[in-house]
Amino acid sequence: MNANYWSNRVVLVVEDDFLCYQYIEVMLKGTGLKIIHVQSGEDAISICRTDEIIDFVLMDIQLPFMSGYDTTKQIKSIRRNLPVIAQTGSLMSDSVNLSDEAGCNYYVTKPLDPDELFDAISKCLNDCVD
């Protein structure tokens, strides 16, 4: 991938598992994306409320205290058009439905496949304008 493929774009990565976050960070290295990392839904909501530079959110669904679904709903109430990519280890069909109902624009499964993730990111940055 081009070293500045998505330069000047900002992703908010909401991931409570540090090893998973490091994996995401390695995958996104060289894309030009600026990464902001938080470990909780509450922090994600706070940042989305105050930081307009975020271009999209990569949302872990299995978060402590507040699920990624609930976090996404609250983020969408603040920034309706902010694209959200749900990420979860669940392969259950209801996970896709719940992601859609929460307002997620795209859905990727863990373990993350770089091609699948890059495809979802491209769609977010090309199709969804905040």
Please give the full DSSP string across 9-50, using - where no structure is assigned. Answer: -EEEEE-S-HHHHHHHHHHHTTS--EEEEESSHHHHHHHHHH
Low-confidence ranges of the chain (pLDDT < 70): 1-4, 90-93, 127-130
Residue 4 lies in a domain: no
CA–CA separation, 81 and 63 (whole Å): 22
pLDDT given for residue 2 in this prediction: 46
Number of domains in the chain: 1
Single out the residue of 71, 121, 125 nearest to residue 98, CA to CA.
71
Residue 3 lies in a domain: no
Residue 97 lies in a domain: yes
CA–CA separation, 22 and 99 (whole Å): 24
Residue 69 lies in a domain: yes
pTM: predicted TM-score of the whole model, two decimal places: 0.91
Q: Sign (positive/negative) of CA torsion 94, 99, 105, 107?
A: negative
Domain housing 92:
10-127
Dihedral of CA atoms 38, 41, 44, 48 in degrees, nearest 10, equals 170
pLDDT given for residue 110 in this prediction: 87
Residue 22 lies in a domain: yes
CA–CA separation, 125 and 117 (whole Å): 12
Over residues 105-124, the pLDDT tens digits come to 999 988 899 999 999 999 98
Cβ atoms within 10 Å, residue 32: 15
- Domain holding 66: CATH number? 3.40.50.2300
Residue 58 lies in a domain: yes
